[in-house]
Structure 1
């Protein structure tokens, strides 16, 4: 049984399948063909998809419930106040019970160790919908968005991350390197990337001629970038450190000065929700921004993952018309 924990766990070819599958389902949805929609709607008819969420969400919840409904499954949202998980019941017991009744579990949790416990005890695929170390669904969506606007299959691209060393860049860096893009990561002094991610990225780069660079100079990372990316400086659960974090991130706001160093046709991305200290309005709402297309693509990323890991039981060679479930 295959679980989706991190992009790092997938081969280059497997990750490419997920992006292509997301692209396929976007075309299906946009076409609005009734016959095609009905064919997809029966793939998980009569099944239930569990959404075990310890953290609040907008895009993850809407996209996951939408993907489940598209394939005919009943989404069941299980928030932290809805079930006994972590209160009166262990991860082991809760996972055993939930996985006995559903076809898969989308888990949006706090610690990576919680995802690992779910994987260890579940009878069905676990889809990591965010933990403190990885965010693979966001990576599928981001790479699809880059493909649509700049087409990394035809162009050599440089992705510049300006911000924190967090779960989003951990998976995005690996994903972009796998698809042949160079990645420059700029974090404030005192904030370093996870060595496990850097080592994995360097191994990928050795194999396909890509470049991974880490710096504490935001201007250096932004220079000649095709894509500028940032994220929240203060993650959920870190609100207590807001004043200190904002001081640490001075000089890391994506603004007209920083973006002027990127290529003339650069694109700006942000996984949302956005705060003003991360990016100015003229960039976030400007002509270079693709943040709302990026947000929409979360739906198609969820569809792709559900198709491969649930409907086709982790068989990446099975096409979108296959139903192995």
Structure 2
């Protein structure tokens, strides 16, 4: 049995296999063909952090695969508050076929998975957001930007950045990360990525200069500067991130055919300009839809590898 907590746990071949399966299922759905690959199975969705795309994509995905998704907010269950995580994990995994958790502490995910009898999927933690990277790379594949890509990530050294580091290190492409001083990635995750990059041939650059990162890039991506739980830091962060907005001037440094990605929600004229977000290079809506298809590929793959 396999869990999906971080891309670090997967080989290049396995990641591409999951994505190929997701694309196959996507093509079927576009042709109105719905195969009940997970018929009568139940996905428990545990949300300690709310999300539009995560809930809709997993719930719709499970329905289209012939199964059922069960929404559980932190008001519905006692995960980590009054009941040990291991008890919640053992009970839910005895009744459901798969569990998706969107939470704060990555350690809670690891603890839950260690006691679960069924596959556990990371729907987002403070350390990683691997399902989003499946959707991002699927979007790159569909427009040919997976061929010798140069990806520039501009913004906060957060869970999205960590996941880009792992994806690049596993698949062997070039990634340039630009963050303000004081907002760099977790150094232990960077060390892991650099070690993996030596095996895959990935080229990873860490800088504090967004222009250096974006010059000649084929993919430019960013994320919100103020993640859930950081609202009290909003004024300070906006000040510290001056010069890191992905606007038309910054995008002009990338390749002429470069694409722009953002996992959403996006705060317009903060981390990205309205012109870029709504411009012809932006694939944010295709990227958002691919959460549905990539995650269906993932759930079917996990079911096959119990």
Which of the five TM-score ranges fits, normalised by the shorter chain? over 0.9
CA distance in 1, matches of 2:86, 2:185: 31
CA distance in 1, matches of 2:151, 2:173: 7
- 1:235 paired residue number: 227
Instruction: Indicate yes or no: 2:159 matched with 1:167.
Output: yes
CA distance in 2, matches of 1:24, 1:203: 33
Instruction: Indicate yes or no: 2:46 matched with 1:49.
Output: no
CA distance in 2, matches of 1:174, 1:114: 20
- 1:28 paired residue number: 28
C-alpha distance after superposition, 1:8-59 (max 9, x if no partner): 11111111111211111111111113xxx2xx21x33222110011010111
Instruction: Indicate yes or no: 2:165 matched with 1:157.
Output: no
- 1:211 paired residue number: 203
Instruction: Indicate yes or no: 2:236 matched with 1:272.
Output: no
- Structure 1 residues 1-325: aligned runs within 5 Å: 1-33=1-33, 37=34, 40-41=35-36, 43-152=37-146, 155-276=147-268, 277-310=270-303, 312-314=304-306
Q: Cα distance, 1:62 vs. partner?
A: 0.7
Change (3 A) 1:258 1:151: closer
CA distance in 1, matches of 2:265, 2:294: 18
Are 2:171 and 2:202, in contact at CA under 8 Å, matched by a contact in 1?
no
Task: Give unmatched runs, 5+ long, in structure 1.
Answer: 315-325
Task: Give unmatched runs, 5+ long, in structure 2.
Answer: none
**What TM-score, normalized by structure 1, do the two folds share?**
0.91
CA distance in 1, matches of 2:181, 2:80: 36
Q: Cα distance, 1:172 vs. partner?
A: 2.0
C-alpha distance after superposition, 1:198-251 (max 9, x if no partner): 223222322233210000001110111111100000010000110111111000
Q: Cα distance, 1:68 vs. partner?
A: 0.9
CA distance in 2, matches of 1:176, 1:63: 24
- Displacement over 6 Å in runs of 4+: none
Are 1:143 and 1:176, in contact at CA under 8 Å, matched by a contact in 2?
no
Q: Cα distance, 1:177 vs. partner?
A: 3.6
DSSP-derived class of the 2:151 partner: strand
RMSD: 1.2
DSSP-derived class of the 2:95 partner: coil
Are 1:6 and 1:128, in contact at CA under 8 Å, matched by a contact in 2?
yes
Please, which moves more after superposition, 134-143 or 172-181?
A: 172-181
Are 1:5 and 1:128, in contact at CA under 8 Å, matched by a contact in 2?
yes
Are 1:160 and 1:227, in contact at CA under 8 Å, matched by a contact in 2?
yes
CA distance in 2, matches of 1:161, 1:63: 24
C-alpha distance after superposition, 1:116-160 (max 9, x if no partner): 1111111111011111001110011111111111342xx321000
